Chain A
């Protein structure tokens, strides 16, 4: 018999596009929370560090 979790929210994500002087910098997902253990581990080890790197790169790009 399958046991079903009562967790209704499986993931929440925030995507961001920074707009500077008409130029758009797509940062993709910058923050997230995942219920799935594999996705959660991926976000912690890969997704989140990559998001932070994209943000830091964007902070250096095209600023007056």
Chain B
């Protein structure tokens, strides 16, 4: 796993939209466990494994790194409701989590395959055709739904098809740039890092900075 922080492709679209005074400022902070120690990428449309704690509305500001006000900064603190290890943090433009979340079920053809195109979830009703989903580091597009079986197109939004999809992997809906099919599904910035172990009641105060230069 590479420790990194990236403005996603969707995040760039949010920024250009805001320059036109369109859209919502992505100052909501959320975190996840990232149990597989995956590396965040600009192609991501959703966190790897969002934790149960609610997202928090951060405090945004302008800061100076090189030239005056060249940095967009968001601070936010999240408190663990039980012991867990946090390995990712992100910025989104919604404090509400998407409902298009499920897990890979047994007999899904995509388990262990970088080319299969069927995925079985607990409830297909949580998803819609033409939505995008993320499993680990791959973004897929839903092209068909039959009960709890999703037909998908692999390697979307510049991501690569992976052969490491496993049983119980989290499936999370998210929007590619310009998309809106997933309600509350805009991931603007994604960061992965060495896991921080927390006990219940422990908190992490994050300061996230994006420098434009």
A residues sitting closer than 8 Å to B (CB atoms) are: 8-21, 27, 30-33, 48, 51-52, 55-56, 58-59, 63-64
Chain B interface residue count: which class? 20 to 34
Set of chain B residues within 8 Å of A59, measured between Cβ atoms: 195-197
Per DSSP, chain B at the interface is strand
Complexed CA–CA distance, A16 and B209 (Å): 12
B146 on the A face (CB < 8 A)? no
B207 on the A face (CB < 8 A)? yes
B192 on the A face (CB < 8 A)? yes
Interchain residue pairs A-B with the least CB separation, the first 3: A10-B213, A15-B207, A31-B193
Set of chain A residues within 8 Å of B203, measured between Cβ atoms: 18-19
User: A12-B210, A20-B202 given as contacts; is B196 within 8 A of A58 (CB)?
Assistant: yes
B204 contacts A52, C-beta separation under 8 Å: no
The smallest C-beta distance from B37 to any residue of chain A, in angstroms, reads 11
1/0 per residue, CB under 8 A from A, across B1-36: the answer is: 011111100000000000000000000000000000
Set of chain A residues within 8 Å of B209, measured between Cβ atoms: 11-15
Instruction: Pick from A12, A15, A32, A55: contact of B196, CB below 8 A.
Output: A55
The smallest C-beta distance from A38 to any residue of chain B, in angstroms, reads 14
B residues sitting closer than 8 Å to A (CB atoms) are: 2-7, 40, 65-66, 77, 89, 189, 191-199, 201-213
User: A20-B199, A20-B202, A32-B5 given as contacts; is B212 within 8 A of A51 (CB)?
Assistant: no
Set of chain A residues within 8 Å of B211, measured between Cβ atoms: 9-13
Complexed CA–CA distance, A33 and B93 (Å): 21
The smallest C-beta distance from B21 to any residue of chain A, in angstroms, reads 18
Q: Which residue of B lies closest to A60 (CB)?
A: B197
Set of chain A residues within 8 Å of B195, measured between Cβ atoms: 55, 59
Q: Can you sample 11 A-B contacts with CB below 8 Å?
A: A9-B210, A9-B213, A12-B5, A12-B189, A12-B208, A14-B89, A14-B209, A15-B207, A20-B202, A31-B5, A55-B196
Set of chain B residues within 8 Å of A64, measured between Cβ atoms: 199
Given contacts A15-B207, A18-B203, A20-B199, 11 further A-B contacts (CB under 8 A): A9-B210, A9-B213, A11-B65, A11-B213, A12-B189, A12-B210, A13-B5, A18-B202, A21-B201, A31-B4, A52-B194
